[in-house]
Structure 1
Amino acid sequence: MKLPRVSSLYGRIFAIFWLTLLIVVVTLLVLPVLDPRTQHTIPEPQLKRLTESAQEIAEKIDHADGSLRTRLKRFTEHDRHRGHQLYFTTTDGEVLSPQGRNKALRNFITMADSPASPKQKLYGRWMMAGPFAVQLQDQQLLMYVARFWREPPPFFIQILDKPFQLLLVTMLVSTPLLLWLAWVVTLPARRLQAAAERVARGEFEVDPKLESGPSEFRQAGASFNQMVEAINQMIGGQQRLLSDISHELRSPLTRLRMATALAQRKQGQSKELSRIDTEAERLEQMISELLELSRMQVNSHEHRESSDAQTLWFDMLEDAKFEAEQCGKKLSYTPLAAWPIHGNPNLLISALENVVRNAIKYGHDRVEVAFDNTGKQLCITIDDNGDGVPDSELEAIFRPFYRVSTARDRSSGGTGLGLAITESAVRQHSGTINASRSPLGGLRITMTLPLI
């Protein structure tokens, strides 16, 4: 049966409920007809054969010797061992033979007492049929025939007679339907969940599939897509604003540095002019890094591909190792393997490079990088033996423009955006990053990234 097309979630559930109810009702109506334990009319060929047998038996009894009860008793006891049993009653329902209590016969007599319409019904392993009219010594009697039922009970009868099997069959029949119903009902919810996860990863893309299915989910999907479009417009406006600000700021900065250079050429070197040039250069670097951070947050989902840890970071670590040696420091790292990672290669390389170069800059003479594959995640630990960061400020160092020591950052040229860029890149790849005190005495940065 094909379900009618309905757009509402509740409509679909209602339709499936009525379909299930219809199947149950039809089953309940059909099963009694097929159950031999209920009273049925005798099929025509069998009825004709039983009627003829009744006449033959009546003639044999009529020609036998002895009283009527004796002859009836002889006949009823004669056929029992053959898997047949005959019963004789008066038209009023008095049992003539065999004598004794027979609940099945008495029950059947109450339902089948007309020779014009013989019936049959199964009692245990005996099929009772009758009544059939027989004429003996000018007296009309009713004959009932019981024959041993050798056929095994139908399968559905066996199921109905055993509650555990009935429960098992009900579960086997209903489980696929319920699983299908659960899959149909939850499919729009899973689509909405997947879309929300994509947005959480920074992938602000409209999904037309969200606007299909039940009306409730169509409305939620349309609202979700409108939200994504609004976020895209807001982020695009922010990006344009930052680009415009960058352009407007870089022009006077360029003129300022040119004026400073001309002044130095005319008046010679001075602390004031050098300070102006240094601050202008730092401001230009800060604007550049701020734009990089903004672009990373907006476009991190683009240009993603599958790669591995060795391909991503081996060359970068070798370059950093060489630079550390030039500064009289030692950088060591554990062997890299081809652990599979999916993401933006440039962002992943930049994330680790920023932390490693910070460790080289602020470490005294030792930097250690360790890679640990935990099965589903790659854990990267960067330790240095520098002065470290106070425990109260470990969480704040990932905020943009946050600097632990202004004097140190100014002398080293830091802008406070390096770790913010790293944190954004790691978060955009569904990873985590945190800072703690290193066993070497300096700072430890721990990053985790999911493996595929």
Structure 2
Amino acid sequence: MKLPKINSLYGRIFAIFWTTMLLVLIAVLSLPHLDPRVARDVPSDTLTKLYKVRDKVQNRLEGETDLSRAIMTFDNQFSRGNNHRKNEVPRLFLSEQDGTILSTQDRDSFKFRTLQNFITSVESPDTPMQKLYGKYMLAGPLPITLADQELHMYIGMRWNQPPPFLINLFDKPLQLLLAVMAVSTPLLLWLAWALSQPARRLERAARRVAKGEFTEDPELETGTAEFKQAGSSFNQMVLAVNQIISGQQRLLSDISHELRSPLTRLRMATALATRKQGESPELKRIDTEAQRLEQMIGELLELSRMNIDSHVTRETQPASSLWEEILDDAQFEAEQRGKQLTYSDIPDVTLSGNPKLLMSAIENIIRNAICYGQNKIDIEMQVEQQHLLICVEDDGPGVPEEEINDIFRPFYRVSTARDRESGGTGLGLAITQSAVLQHNGEITASRSKLGGLKMAVKLPLSL
């Protein structure tokens, strides 16, 4: 019959618990039946041999009518044994039916003391029992008739068999502990493995989501009922987040695209008005603001294009393939402007993410440093605790300390000439920060040792 499969986590725990308890219960219940130190029935084959010995003694002393002489003959022939094999030959003992030992030997010896204890522990004289004392086994009573009197006979022999395995365990707590550990460890290891596998799958899926990989994992919906339900809910959450992000990014892209049409018509109307009426400060101001608005929309459209499905499109690439060409081009551009750009070797590491976003983010920081730096730009890349740290510094005017935390806000422009002269829209660093955060990274701004601005980007490596 095929046993039903246990799909519940609690069901598995209870199954292992009751299995362990059943093994312990079986061991405890079987101990009295296996312990020779407890008085128990004599096995049938041994009992047959004992009766043969009894019959032999009874036949040997059959003609004796005096009980005293019969006891003396019994002690000399059957109780003392061979001197050379005293510990191997069984010894026989006699007692009255009330338990009084009949013997001509010293009754204070160990064998007689154990015999007296055995006689008192036998519950029914009609049923022969056996009991182990150390390495000495006593069996009896066997009914025997000597000198026309009904007596009991007992047989003692040396126990050369090794004690049962369970007896050794219960006599030695350390061995018992080791045995329990040997039995329970495989069950506990199996339980730990059964619990850890679904949890590890869920952990790996959570790491992928933290890195921006919003993909479903069918393996999460396997295993016990609890983890299967958690995996199903996790996949539904990933699907919902994926749809929300994609929907928002497409909405932003559609809005930016639709705004371009009225801006184009506005600039055409401004050009026609200028042609008819000639140049005027008002028309020039309208055209300037329209150009700036069109630039903003263009940057928003570019941002939305990069972000659409960027959380789904992920690749693992070496860092050199992402930024080596960008650094070479930036160095050439800086030389053309009469500035010095230096950069360290790119570490031999790999990153997982959207290549376009990663390239655009670092390129934007470098070009800002070239634009605002006066003479020197320094770029350093190094590995630090499973992260790639990229620092870009310049010797430009920098950013006031009170405004450093605001430069990543969309459309924010600092109060100094650093941003006003460029005519920027204030979206560059917002786009860069968005790209870095999508890759579970960090970006910070601070004062550079060169006197200008220092931008530090920290990206996790692909393991």
Task: Please give the range of the TM-score, normalised by the shorter of the 2 chains.
Answer: 0.7 to 0.9
1:113–1:131 Cα contact (<8 Å) kept: no
Q: Which residue in the other structure is 1:76 paired with?
A: 79
Matching residue of 1:24: 24
Q: Describe the SS at the equivalent of 2:407.
A: helix
| CA distance in 1 between partners of 2:47 and 2:229 (Å) | 66
- Partner in structure 1 of residue 10 of structure 2: 10
What amino acid is aligned across from residue 369 of structure 1 in structure 2? I
Instruction: Tell me what 1:56 maps to.
Output: 56
Task: Provide the secondary structure at the position in 2 that maps to 1:122.
Answer: strand
Correspondence for 2:96: 90
Partner of residue 310, structure 2: 300
SS of the residue corresponding to residue 395 of structure 1 reads helix
Q: Which of 374, 392, 416 lines up with 2:402 in the alignment? A: 392
State how far apart, in whole Å, the 2-side matches of 1:387 and 1:44 are: 107
In 2, the alpha carbon distance for the partners of 1:248 and 1:186 equals 51
Structure 1 CA distance, aligned partners of 2:32 and 2:407? 78
Return the letter of the residue paired with 1:28: V
Equivalent of residue 108 in structure 1, options 109, 113, 118 = 118
TM-score, normalised relative to structure 2: 0.84
What amino acid does structure 1 have at the position aligned with 2:88?
R
More deviation in 301-310 or 38-47? 38-47
Q: Do the aligned partners of 1:426 and 1:432 also contact (CA within 8 Å) in 2?
A: yes
| Aligned match of 1:247 | 257
Give the 3 Å change call, closer, same or farther, for CA 341–136 of structure 1 in structure 2.
same
Read off the aligned partner of 1:362 and give its amino acid letter.
Y
SS at match of 1:387: coil
Alignment match of 2:146 (pick from 129, 132, 136): 136
1:346-365 mapped onto 2 (5 Å cutoff): 346-365=356-375
Give the Cα separation in 2 of the matches to 1:403 and 1:33.
91
1: distance between equivalents of 2:6 and 2:87? 64
1:311 and 1:338 in contact (8 A); partners too: no
Select between 301-310 and 277-286 the one with higher mean Cα deviation.
277-286
Alignment of 1:50-449 (within 5 A): 50-59=50-59, 67-74=69-76, 75-78=78-81, 80-82=86-88, 84-97=90-103, 99-100=107-108, 104-112=114-122, 117-185=127-195, 187-262=197-272, 273=283, 275-294=285-304, 296=306, 299-374=309-384, 376-405=386-415, 408-449=418-459
What is the alpha-carbon distance in structure 2 between the residues aligned to residue 83 and residue 432 of structure 1?
89
Structure 1 CA distance, aligned partners of 2:2 and 2:135? 42
Question: 1:20-51 CA distances to partner (integer Å, 9 max, x unpaired)?
Answer: 33333333333433333334433333322232
Distance 1:26 1:321 in 2: 81
From the superposition, tell whether residues 335 and 133 of structure 1 become closer, same or farther in structure 2 (CA, over 3 Å): same
Assess, with a 3 A threshold, how the Cα gap between structure 1 residues 345 and 44 changes in structure 2: closer, same or farther: same
Gap runs ≥5 in structure 1? none
**Counterpart-to-counterpart distance in 2, 1:232 and 1:302:** 8
Distance verdict in 2 for CA 1:106–1:362, change over 3 Å: farther
With over 3 angstroms needed to count, the CA separation of the structure-2 counterparts of 1:155 and 1:442, relative to structure 1, is: farther
Percent identity of equivalent pairs: 56
Tell me which moved more, 349-358 or 269-278.
Answer: 269-278
Q: CA deviation at 1:156?
A: 2.9
Q: Deviations over 1:348-400 (max 9, x none)?
A: 22222121112112222111111222352222222212222233333332232
TM-score (norm 1): 0.86
Partner letter of residue 19 of structure 1?
Answer: T
**What 5-or-longer segments of structure 2 have no aligned partner?**
none
Secondary structure of 1:371's counterpart equals strand
Counterparts of 1:432 and 1:24 in 2: how far apart (Å)?
56
Is the deviation greater in 434-443 or in 105-114? Answer: 105-114
Deviation at 1:298, TM superposition (A): 5.2
Cα contact 1:114–1:131 (8 A) shared by 2: no
Instruction: Give, in whole Å, the separation in 2 of the partners of 1:3 and 1:27.
Output: 25
Distance 1:426 1:157 in 2: 68
Q: Secondary structure at the match of 1:401?
A: coil
Return closer, same or farther for 1:162/1:399 CA change in 2, 3 Å cut-off: farther
Deviation at 1:418, TM superposition (A): 2.1
**Aligned pair in 2 of structure 1 residues 239, 313: CA closer, same or farther (>3 Å)?**
closer
The answer to whether the 8 A contact 1:84-1:145 is kept is yes
Which region of structure 1 is more displaced relative to structure 2, 137-146 or 35-44?
35-44
Which stretch shifts more, 428-437 or 58-67?
58-67
